[in-house]
Amino acid sequence: MKLVFVGVGGGAPSRWGLPGILLRRDSFSAIFDCGEGTQIKIIEKGLGINVDLIAITHMHADHVLGVLGLVQTMGLLSRERELVVLGPSELKDFLEESFRRTKFRPSFDLVFSDSYETKEFRITRFPTCHTVESYGYVIEEKEKRNLDAERLRREGIRDFRVFRELKAGKAVEYNGRLLKPEDYIIVTKGKKVVYTGDTKPCEKVVEASQGADVLIHDSTFVYNEEAHEYGHSNVIDAVNAAVRANVGTLVLYHYSARYDSVEPLLYEARRFFSRVVAPQPLDSLVIQ
């Protein structure tokens, strides 16, 4: 998976851009939140806006106002395949009313859903603790189960019928031996990415983030005593969630326009957690 942090700020427009994360996995692509200017940056960088899915965390303007323009541009490009849309309950009404008032109707179907799943991965949502209805998203690859064919060959077993049965999870009698599938199946855990959107400290976030490879957490302020009242997190809140959930990498996100540099946020986070990054607009992160 590859993440491109199109915009990393929040609230008022600033040098950080407004929230928008582009995810790519093989031929699949998705946008998580879509503030003003998201599609312009994507187009300018040639990243491709014809995504398969849009997921919105909540209906505040800095997270959602770019969606209408993005959908309209897809229509102008003669898109035909459906677009999956995840988000809060008001998102469908917002888009339908916007289409009506702007005299625009997409040339393709919008499929509103709570989740998305393929054979390789799933995207699910979970409630977060903001000032309005809000959700975070878990992007999780399914585990891979591969037959250790090399081990079988080293043991002199080359019968494809044995391979097939073991891969199907069945024990096999072979030359007086009982071959158990658990001895020959290699299980590889899939990668897990969690994006919180806007949230104050929240148990649901910690629960959803358990064992995540990457946690992208609201880090609006280094410290603001009113952060929680606004439904946002200070850096230490993001760090606490990362530690409690035992995540691999913490990504700070949704910086306040008051900051001219990410250094104060990074300094505060790295006092307590070393595996942390603070992306600039259009930075990317490859998850291997």
CB 252 within 8 A of CB 278: yes
Counted residue by residue, the chain has a size of 288
Q: How many CA atoms lie within 13 A of 221 on its CB side?
A: 15
109 in active site: no
Among 62, 198, 213, 237, the active-site one is: 62
Tokens of 166: 């073991």
CB 8 within 8 A of CB 251: no
Measured CA to CA, the distance from residue 93 to residue 89 in angstroms comes to 8
C-beta neighbour count of 265 within 10 angstroms: 23
Tokens of 67: 């969606």
Measured CA to CA, the distance from residue 171 to residue 109 in angstroms comes to 46
Measured CA to CA, the distance from residue 86 to residue 37 in angstroms comes to 20
What are the residue numbers of the active site? 62
